[in-house]
Amino acid sequence: MKIFRVISIFLIPVLFAKISYAQKSHQNEIRALRINQPVILNGYLSERAWQNAKHISNFTQRELYEGKPATERTEVAVLYDNRNLYIGVWCFDDESGKIAAQKMKRDFNYGSDDNFKFIVDTYNDKRNGYLFVTNPNGARFDALIQDNGNSVNKAWDGVWNVKTKITDKGWFAEFEIPFSTLKFNTKNNQIWGINFERNIRRKREQDLWQGWSRDSEIEQVSRAGKLTGIEGLSEVTLIELKPYGIAGVENNENAGKNLNYNIGTDINYLITPTMKLNLSVNTDFAQVESDQQQVNLTRFSLFYPEKREFFLEGQDYFNFGLGHSIRPFYSRRIGLAPDRSKIPIIAGARLLGKTGNTTLGGMSIQTAKQDSIPSTNYTVLRWKQDVFEQSNIGLIGVSKIEPGRQNAVYGADFLYSTSKIFGDKNLSVGGAVAQSYTSDAFNKTGLASRLFVDYPNDLIEFSAVWDRASADFNPETGFLRRTNYQMYNADFRIKPRPKFLPWIQRLVFKPFDFNYYVDDKTHKLQSLWTEFRPLGFTTKSGEFFESNIQRRAENLTEDFEIHDGIVINKGEYWFTRYELQFATFKGRPVYGFFFVNWGDFYTGKRTEWFIRSVFQINKYISVSSDFTQNFITLPQGTFTVNEFGGRVDIALNPDLFGSIFGQWNNDDNEALLNFRLNWIPTPGTNFYFVVNQSFDTNVRGWHSTNTTVLTKLIWRFVI
């Protein structure tokens, strides 16, 4: 009942908020022109077909001045043949010498550059889409969009290409998207959702073709326009083979020198244009970048993001409505031991796709026996059904089967979502319930559940959540940050754009934000985190600032060793903390971020600093560094935790790039260095050269503990 009282308080200002209506630009349809000869991909847009195709140019500002005409002309045209979809883009610019183009590598951080995006909703279901992005250097970024932008899988790497050209008139781009990269229904006359966005970084200007309201983003495909004219496509059947080979050497101070060599393959079969089967044999992830080290100063589990391509590609299919702290399926439980060492994967199969209004995801992986860990099968099945215009219901089942033992989680979730409340505002309401089963546990079953409401809009942003995980809920193929709790959360922000402050883009006030955890059995306090933001703002030049006042509480039911030999006695602790954050505009060659949090900490004091600096030397080289320090003073003792990270990114062109990443902290006293070179000779084919080096820094001088040098080639064949 507490959560619904909070919701009722929130609804009062919402009802009096300004009501606007979905902003569509007319014309809102672009027609593709069929061609008989493939486009020569070079960025010149010189073929006659580009002149014959219908161009659209009616772009409108979303930022900085909502509803105003774009300050620079942008034109788009669409072509297609039997194999590919082609998007031609003319980004005219009266000051072409000021075009921002800093990045070149695959999956680049496009937030600092001029860029052009487009999203394609091939099902025309106003829920799902493919996002493609490039900048004036021809760098590539892509993502899978689900649930009308609520889920964005940035790790997806589709097979596509783009070439660009910069002239004194602006910059120009030619995209080539193979139809085999997309999933779509087999209809003679295709109607797809499509939208386009251009960002002019020096002006901080964002222009969209459709849905240019500040309450929407390009990922919200429900606000997209229409792509018509695609006809007569033959049914796409695809068998894609991606064999790999690895060769290298590892020198470990304990195990000695070992030669590493391996072969395996992925087989992708497009069963129908909307359903893809993937088989993986002897799966290996030697090219994956090292995890970033984390020092844990809490009582709860740390979350490490997935980085392995096989699991990343379809991870959004297995998202479930229990949120981030309770995950029935967490792919890092597969092929990685608790100490993050590798467990060989024998084989795996995965099925992903959509048929009509039904989205299906299934995956089964078999791992090999290693040391005391037996050979284990992991399986996850996910079903979602579209209901209403933007909503869905779903089921999930996850199992872990090893000799003589089984763990499983099964559950159901729902999401009601609309982008039309109070005109064109966004609202989501959802929930989920799941039960775990562990065959050898005393209490074999446990429950987890969640309810939430989210109102994410430009002026007013509000969310409220109730989470619960019982003491016996045990998702062994999932992630659970803490057990035996109920959590109440509410977050309310007001974000006005005052015209009387000409240098301010937006102010942010946060009247309240809290997470209140209670023990699920005793209903006594576990933790409390609250935050009040008296002032935050973003300037029109791109700077960011916020100040926060926090009130926290921890109820320790047992003694807690926070650091070697330093123990905090059990009991209830309350403390107040203060926080400042500041960042400069990312579009400049040099930018930085500063964070400091200080105040009470249990029976003592804690000051936490974080500083990040980035220097974009030119479009080929970028240097960045991170430094985090925690200085903690307690009656039991004083200690300091320092964490350093540094990175050099090098890109010779959009298909040849690499990085050097180093990290160290004085808690582990271990330095890790990772060098990674990636060459893409053709889209879908990758060559990697990787060097991993670790040092023990606990002795005088750095002592090498492990050196690994590996090469990996993944070649793509299409049958």
Q: What is the pLDDT of residue 356?
A: 86
Q: Does residue 290 lie within any of the structural domains?
A: no
Is the model's pTM score more than 0.75? yes
Q: Does residue 340 lie within any of the structural domains?
A: no
CATH number at 69 reads 2.60.40.1190
Q: Does residue 145 lie within any of the structural domains?
A: yes
Please choose, from the candidates 234, 236, 226, the residue with its C-alpha nearest in 3D space to the C-alpha of residue 32.
226
Q: Does residue 261 lie within any of the structural domains?
A: no
Residue type (1 letter), 239: I
As a whole number of angstroms, the longest Cα–Cα distance in the chain is: 79
Q: What is the pLDDT of residue 290?
A: 66
CB-neighbour burial class of residue 383 (10 A; exposed 0-12, middle 13-18, buried 19+): middle
Assess contact for 447 and 293: CB atoms under 8 A: no
Cα 89 to chain centroid, rounded = 26
Q: Does residue 396 lie within any of the structural domains?
A: no
Q: What is the pLDDT of residue 270?
A: 84
CB-neighbour burial class of residue 554 (10 A; exposed 0-12, middle 13-18, buried 19+): buried
Contacts of 218 (CB under 8 A, 6+ apart): 117, 119, 131, 195, 196, 197, 208, 211
Q: What is the pLDDT of residue 338?
A: 80
Assess contact for 650 and 665: CB atoms under 8 A: no
Assess contact for 32 and 192: CB atoms under 8 A: no
Q: What is the pLDDT of residue 56?
A: 96
Structure tokens at 434: 């799941």
The domain in which residue 55 lies consists of: 21-231
pLDDT tens digits, 178-224? 988 888 877 778 899 999 999 999 999 999 999 999 998 999 999 99
Question: Which residue bears the tokens 């492990």?
Answer: 706
- Strand bridging mode 670-679 / 460-469: unpaired
Q: Please compute Rg for the chain using Cα positions.
A: 26
Q: What is the pLDDT of residue 89?
A: 97
**523 φ/ψ sector (left φ>0, alpha ψ -120 to 50, else beta):** left
Q: Does residue 122 lie within any of the structural domains?
A: yes
- Which DSSP state fits 149? G
| Number of compact structural domains in the chain | 1
Q: Does residue 71 lie within any of the structural domains?
A: yes
Q: What is the pLDDT of residue 38?
A: 84
Give long-range contacts, CB 8 A cutoff, 24+ apart: 639-644.
639/563, 639/566, 640/666, 641/295, 641/297, 641/563, 641/665, 641/666, 641/667, 642/666, 643/293, 643/295
- Strand bridging mode 485-494 / 504-519: antiparallel
Q: What is the pLDDT of residue 237?
A: 64
Extract the residue ranges of the chain whose pLDDT is less than 50: 1-21
Q: Does residue 471 lie within any of the structural domains?
A: no
φ and ψ at residue 6, rounded to 5 degrees: -60, -40
CA distance 103 to 135: 8
Question: Which residue bears the tokens 């199969």?
Answer: 349
